[in-house]
Structure 1
Amino acid sequence: MQALFDAFSAYPALFIATVALLSLIVGSFLNVLIYRLPIMMEREWQQEYQAYFAADSATVAPAAPFNLAVPRSRCPACQTPIRARDNIPVLSWLLLGGKCRQCQTAISPRYPAVEALTALLSGVVAWQLGFGLPALLFIFITWLLIALTFIDIDKMLLPDQLTLPLLWLALLFSLTDSALVNPAQAIVGAACGYLSLWSVYWLFKLLTGKEGMGYGDFKLLAVFGALLGWQQLPLIILLSSVVGAVIGIILLSIQGKDKATPIPFGPYIAAAGWIAMLWGEQMTNAYLRYLGL
C-alpha cells in the first residue's frame, strides 16, 4: 500500500487517472443513491407513522426489501434486470445508443452525465490538490455534493443522512495536521454557516409568511463553515445567491412558471462551496487586492 501511495505522490498523472476512473464507478453508484434514498426515506416515514399513529389498525403486509443494494437495478419500462455488461459507466450507455437492450426504451442521458460529472470534478480535485489527505477528503465530499445536488433538484430535499455525516467529517478533519482550520474555528464556522441562513429564513418568514429555504440548506452551509472556516462563508453565500438568482430566473422564464415557484437552493450552495474548497482563498485575496486592502 505504501508503494502505491509513493507512486501517487511521485506521479500526479497516475493519481488523477486513478481518481477519475474510480469516480466513474462511484458515479454509477451515485445514480442509485440519488434515486433510491428519497424512496427509502419516504418508506421509513410511512413505517414510523404506522408505528406511532396507526398501531391499532389492521396489520399491513411488510413491503419487499428496498435499499441501496436490493432490488437489482432494472429498466423502469420493461423491468428487465440490467446486466453487468450493460452497466459500465458511460460506455454502456453509448454502446446501447441510450436505449434499453430489451425494449429499446430511451434511457435518460442524466445517468451517464452524473457519472462523467463525478469523474470530471473528482479529477479536478486530484489535479488541484495532489495526493494527500485533503484531496481524499475533498474528493469524497465532491461525491456527496453531487448526490445532494441531484436529490435537491428532484425532491427539494437535502437528506440528513448525507449532510450530517459530512458535517461531522468536516469537524473531525479539523483535528488533523492537514486541516485548513483548527477545531475552534471549525465549530465557529459551522455555527455561523447554520445560523446565517437560519436567520435569513426566519426574517423572510416573518416578513412574508412564506418559507424561503429549507433546513437542509442551513446544514449544508454549516458543512462548509466547519471545513473552511467562517471567513469563506460570505464568498459562498454571495456566489450561490448570484448564480441561483440568475439561473432561477432563466429557468422560470424558459419553463413559463410563476416567480413564486420554489426552486432548490442546495445545488448553488454545493457549487459555490466546491469552488471555495479549491479556490476560495485565492478568490478572496484577489478581491481584497482589487479593493487595495
Structure 2
Amino acid sequence: MTFIDWYFTFVVFLFGACWGSFLNVCIYRIPAELSVVKPRSRCPKCMTNLAWKDNIPIFGWIFLGGKCRYCKAPISARYPSIELLTAILFALIWLRFPYDLVLVPYLLLTFGLILGSMVDVDEMWLPDRVTIGGMIVGPIFSFLLPAMHGVEGHVAGLVESLIGLAVGFGSLWSVALIGRLVLKKDAMGFGDVKLMGALGAFLGWESIIFIVFVSSLVGAIVGVSFIAFGKKEWQSKIPFGPYIALAAIFWMLGGSSLWEAYAAWASGGAY
C-alpha cells in the first residue's frame, strides 16, 4: 500500500467512528420512537447536554474516564465499542473495495446491520427501517451500480437484486412457515425474514446460501459453548439477527471470493 492508500484508510476509519457515534444515538432512540436528530446528545442520568468535546468518537469516553463530566454517573463502554467496531468495519470494507463506488451501498449496509443487530439484542426485534428499508434501497443501488452484482447494465443489476430479494425473503419465510407447522410455534422472527430479503437485494442470491450456512454454524457454535459453560439460558437472550449480520459482513469481506472458488471447484474449473 502507498502512503495515499494508508491516508484514505485512516480517513475512512475516522468516518466510520463518526457514524458509529451516530449509531449509538439511533440504537438508543429508535426503539423509544424518539427523533435521532433532536435534541442534542445528553447524559441519560442528569439529562445535561453534552459538550462537543465529550462527543468525540472513542476518545471522548476515554478523556472522561468513562463517567459523565457533570454528574459523574458511569457511561457504558458499549458506546466507544460500537464507535470502534464501526470504524474498523468501514476501514476493512474500504480495503476490500478501495476507490470503488460499491463502497457507498456496502458501508450503508454495514451501518444498518450494526444498528439492526444492537436493537435486536436489546429489544428482540429488528427495525423496519433496516429490513424493509434495505429491501427498498437495495434494488435502487443495484440499478445505479450494477457492478454490485458483477453484471453490466442497469436493468441487469436491478433484476439480480430482485432475484436476490426473492430468494432471501423466500428462503427464511419457508423455514419460518415449516417451523410453525412442525413445532406449533414461531421458529424464527419475521424480522429475520425481512432482513434476509434486504441482504439478497444488496448482495445477490448467491450470498443467501453462504449467509444461511455461516449464520447457522456460528449460532450452533455459540449455543454449544453456552451449554458447555453451564449458561444454557443465555441462548434465548441472543436473537438470530446478529448471526445473520455477522455472516453478511463475512460475505462482503471475502466470503464472495470463497463462494466463487467453491463454484469453480464444484464445476471442475480452476479459480
**What TM-score does the superposition give when structure 2 sets the normalisation length?**
0.87
How far residue 185 of structure 1 moved from its aligned partner, in angstroms, is 2.2
8 Å CA contact 1:157–1:216 kept in 2: the answer is yes
Matched with 1:82 is 50
Q: What is the CA–CA distance in structure 2 between the aligned matches of 1:260 and 1:21, rounded to whole Å?
A: 35
| Contact 2:138 2:202 (8 Å CA) reproduced | yes
Q: Is this contact kept in 2: 1:142–1:274, CA < 8 A?
A: yes
Amino acid at match of 2:141: F
In 1, Cα distance between the equivalents of 2:234 and 2:18?
Answer: 38
Q: Deviations over 1:89-118 (max 9, x none)?
A: 111111111111122221110000000001
Shift of 1:260: 7.5
CA deviation after TM superposition for structure 1 residue 32, in Å: 0.4
2:47 maps to a residue whose letter is Q
Aligned twin of 1:241: 216
* Other-structure match for 2:12: 19
Q: Which amino acid aligns with 2:23?
A: L
| d(CA) in 2 for partners of 1:162, 1:292 | 36
Contact 1:24 1:89 in 2 (8 A): yes
Offset of 1:190 from its aligned partner? 0.7
Distance 1:142 1:259, change over 3 A: closer
Structure 1 residue 13 displacement after superposition: 2.5
Q: Deviation at 1:290?
A: 6.2
1:10-62 Cα offsets, whole Å, 9 max, x none, are: 9332322221111111111100000100110xxxxxxxxxxxxxxxxxxxxxx
Structure 1 distance, partners of 2:227, 2:53, is: 40
**Partners of 2:25 and 2:10 in 1: CA distance:** 24
Q: What percentage of residue pairs aligned between the two structures are identical?
A: 38
**What corresponds to 1:179 in structure 2?**
148
Structure 1 residues 10 and 227: CA distance shift in structure 2, 3 A = farther
Q: Which among 165, 179, 186 is matched to residue 190 of structure 1? A: 165
- Tell me how far apart the structure 1 counterparts of residues 241 and 227 of structure 2 sit (CA, whole Å): 17
Question: Relative to structure 1, is the Cα distance of residues 260 and 203 closer, same or farther in structure 2, using a 3 angstrom cutoff?
Answer: farther
Equivalent residue number for residue 170 of structure 1: 138
Q: How far 1:142 moved relative to its partner?
A: 1.0
Alignment of 1:111-190 (within 5 A): 111-175=79-143, 176-180=145-149, 181=151, 182-190=157-165
Q: Give CA-to-partner distance per residue, 1:52-80, whole Å, 9 cap, x none.
A: xxxxxxxxxxxxxx411233322222222
CA distance in 2, matches of 1:255, 1:112: 30
1:212 corresponds to: 187
Match of 2:154 in 1: none
Bigger Rg, which one: 1
Q: Offset of 1:198 from its aligned partner? A: 0.5
Aligned partner of 2:247 among 272, 276, 282? 272
Q: Distance in 1 between matches of 2:176 and 2:148?
A: 30
For the residue of structure 2 that corresponds to 1:39, the secondary structure is: coil
Gaps of 5+ in 2: 152-156
**In structure 2, distance between residues paired with 1:119 and 1:130:** 15
Q: Pick from 27, 32, 42: which aligns with 1:39?
A: 32
Moved more, 161-170 or 175-184: 175-184
Query: In the alignment, which of 260, 264, 267 is matched to residue 285 of structure 1?
Result: 260
Aligned length: 260
List runs of 5+ in structure 1 lacking aligned partners: 1-8, 41-65
Q: Quick check: 89-98 or 68-77, which moved more?
A: 68-77
Residues in 2 aligned to 1:224 and 1:109: alpha-carbon distance in whole angstroms: 29
Q: Which amino acid aligns with 2:148?
A: A
Secondary structure (helix, strand or coil) at the match of 1:133 reads: coil
TM-score, scaled to structure 1: 0.81
Maintained 8 Å contact 1:12/1:131: no
